[in-house]
Structure 1
């Protein structure tokens, strides 16, 4: 196969792109916000609008002669469908606090970290907590559920008519999966949910051809295969599975920090550390930080490019952003965001925010025992201030992917190997200037006291 249509549904934005496996080129054909609706029973994603986007995007992809459809989406999301394949309830926004209303009851039945590699997370970030709450809050509707479909597999189902479960999404801090044994966790049997999850299929498996109505609506050939699909952070990991040992940062709204063949370290569930599952079904030590969201909030949406003068001013003045704007997530739980050395503006503010993201990212790498070069995929892959500070504090070469998402290529690679090397990533070496190394050391000391 050469040209693969990739549906990439992130927490903030949705994209439809075509990846050329002969060249590695990615072409984004359509983009739309992944809006959260506030009407109805609870905050939820607009699946009707997304379905219209999917069909419109695939129509554009059909004109490119694509040969398969692959899907990647954010985690902590599932669709509850009935026997006809219709949604029983709206797809819950994982930032809604509804599941907190039965947190004590859920805590009593969820498995421990040693079984699932999944820490107890707030709101709906544990998918098991979402399903638990939905069953209790809406029992009549829940009684009609035929399948619980994690999000990539829901869209694969909409396109192919075939239902499936898949390990990268089930292993994404859901409490539903035992990554060490490669099977559902005891929570699923304890709650009597076994029949609600379809058979587990590999991310790269073809579920079937597109449905006739999808072919008619988009112009795709009737036999176009639909792949099972993959969790987005693990899509970013696919191109690097053979490059271990290394650390991989998949960046967007979240920064997901993964260690491939790193040091054996005790994972600290209290610092937003968990066990992910890669496309091969293997456990991957992982740490998380809401880096993209926090950078946007620090900059109030006004992202700028800091100059070298901005960088030097922040470094020399030891102007530091300290964790964190979302204290319920990340490696510094409970700590509240603040500034040391004054609150900067403009390019200096962007420099300080980028350094902050890099230093928290480095903390995440330490927590998961990452060794070797550090690969940065996604939005932060083109942020040179971030890359330079990350290299300096880790003492490792950092390879920035540019601003590409990384998820698109990884999802496309499920359909077949890349036939040519893509653009070489930017290699950033650690800074040796004491103004850089001193800043990194001072930030870490301040964070320990913060």
Structure 2
């Protein structure tokens, strides 16, 4: 008898992934691929959209014919800040512009001159000034710089919704893509911002729907439920929201450390904006307060410098475990020691001067300084929310010194680490199932570990 499964395409900037999940959300099949980037008309690197489309159809059609599985539904998770423009015939009319593509400053200036001031616009839309990382700015740029192309647009779809469109032919917009640092959404009005209407952008954005919407289609003779797609960050958050009863903050660590609060009720403040705060969006359109810290990037640079200073292998830091006696020595006459290269902070020395003769001591000082910044970032995301739990996933979740220090400084929160390579893919499967997850889900599926603050000696 065939196993009933949900198919998920999880599209990252680098890796393109395909999963099959059974009815208990267990992975039963996976497939990865990568594509070489191509160039847009300006010579800037970008996604090979045609190759991605061909791969989606080839993989899905092949797996539909596998005798072991019966695919009942398919959904799509992908990176954000990326849109596809189609004409009245459904034909793609521009390259898939890379959100890292530099934006002509004159375009940005004209936008903020017309619709600013910048800080107020950022506060209301939950969007920092991020150039092409704001998809609203991409649309404004296209209208100003290439009006002849803009006039041909029938619909603009965010990438997850375009992937769904390939299977349904039905264009939709979806909250998590529209609301994640796009400049498009007014969180006070709970509607598109006034500038979107003044520029006529609303006319090319298809009707809005929620990420748990399924479209019922006949796909080559098979009845199939097709999800409308979901922004990967919102998708990765969903299993935590569905399986945890009390308010929490999720700290997703890597190159960026992103502190995510899906229970915030208040609007962003000017201080939040100044501290690199922004909004993502839950599947129902409610705000998700986010605070960012360039933690992993700074850590990588500083550890490399420390390794060179002590003439040790660059991966030696992975062997260092938390030592309370070393921490005591570091904190008894504590002054900041490290000059950051990619983080703005107070009381930073003009240059880094290592005052220790052992790597372990210097490393504990580095982690202490970074964690103090991390704690402030987490508190910024918490705001006025009565948060009881803190989840940490990603690269720092198995860093013993980081976890011990965070647990110590935020001891009033229960700290737990999780490990899931499935991340946004699993969320994309859960969202279209409308399943209610119990409190054991994270333990069973995410290698949940609880950490208690260390006891002061």
TM bracket, shorter-chain basis: 0.7 to 0.9
The yes-or-no answer on 1:280 pairing with 2:287 is no
Aligned partner of residue 173 in structure 1, secondary structure: coil
Q: Gaps spanning 5+ residues in structure 1: where? A: 213-220, 435-450
Query: What per-residue deviation string (whole Å, max 9, x for no partner) do you get for residues 352-374 of structure 1?
Result: 88777655443221112252211
Q: How far 1:312 moved relative to its partner?
A: 7.6
Matching residue within 133, 139, 144 for 1:131: 139
1:393 offset after TM fit, Å?
2.9
Show the 5 A alignment for 1:9-408. 9-22=11-24, 24-26=25-27, 29-33=30-34, 36-38=37-39, 40-41=41-42, 42-58=44-60, 61-62=63-64, 63=66, 64-110=69-115, 112-113=120-121, 116-209=124-217, 211-212=219-220, 222-241=222-241, 243=244, 244-251=246-253, 254-261=256-263, 267=269, 268-291=272-295, 306-309=318-321, 323-325=340-342, 339=352, 341=354, 358-368=371-381, 369=383, 371-395=387-411, 396-408=413-425
Question: Equivalent residue of 1:79, what SS?
Answer: strand
Partner of 1:306, secondary structure, is: helix
Judged with a 3 Å threshold, the aligned counterparts in structure 2 of structure 1 residues 36 and 281 are, in CA distance, closer, same or farther, namely: same
- CA deviations over 1:31-74 (Å, ceiling 9, x no partner): 23475444532332221232234335435654343321111122
Deviation at 1:18, TM superposition (A): 2.4
SS in 2 for 1:66: strand
Residues in 1 aligned to 2:187 and 2:174: alpha-carbon distance in whole angstroms: 12
Is the alpha carbon distance of 1:354 and 1:25 closer, same or farther for their aligned partners in structure 2, counting shifts above 3 Å? farther
State whether residues 18 and 26 of structure 1, in contact with CA within 8 Å, keep that contact through their aligned partners in structure 2: yes
Give per-residue Cα distances to partners, 1:183-224, cap 9 Å, x unaligned.
Answer: 211121011112100000110101343754xxxxxxxx7322
Which residue of 1 is the match for residue 428 of structure 2? 411
Give 1:403 shift: 4.5
Distance 1:310 1:430, change over 3 A: closer
Select the structure of larger CA radius of gyration.
2
Distance 2:234 2:426 in 1: 11
Paired with 2:91 and 2:296, the residues of 1 have a C-alpha distance of: 33
* Structure 1, 120-129 or 164-173: larger mean CA deviation: 120-129
Distance in 2, matches of 1:342 and 1:55, equals 59
CA RMSD of aligned residues (A): 3.8
Q: Residue 320 of structure 1 contacts residue 340 of structure 1 at CA under 8 Å; is this kept in 2?
A: yes
User: Is the CA contact 1:3–1:67 (under 8 Å) kept in the aligned structure 2?
Assistant: yes
Which residue matches 1:445?
A: none
* Segment drifting more, 184-193 vs 418-427: 418-427
Aligned partners of 1:173, 1:266: CA distance in 2, in Å?
A: 13
Instruction: Tell me the TM-score normalised to structure 2 length.
Output: 0.78
- Confirm or deny: 8 A CA contact 1:378 1:406 kept in the other structure: no
Distance 1:292-1:51 versus aligned 2 partners, 3 A rule = farther
State the secondary structure of the residue aligned to 2:260. Answer: strand
What residue number does 1:215 align with? none
Give the structure 2 partner of residue 217 of structure 1: none
Residue range with higher mean Cα deviation, 62-71 or 268-277: 62-71
Contact 2:73-2:224 at 8 Å conserved across structures: yes
Q: Determine helix, strand or coil for the equivalent of 2:259.
A: strand
Quick one: structure 1 residues 92 and 427, their matched pair in 2 at CA, closer, same or farther if it must change by over 3 Å?
Answer: same
1:441 matched to which residue of 2? none
Alpha-carbon distance in structure 2 between the residues aligned to 1:107 and 1:184: 17
* Count of residue pairs brought into register by the alignment: 419
Shift of the alpha carbon at 1:27? 5.2
Q: Does the CA contact (< 8 Å) of 1:8 and 1:73 recur in 2?
A: yes
TM-score, normalising length from structure 1?
Answer: 0.79
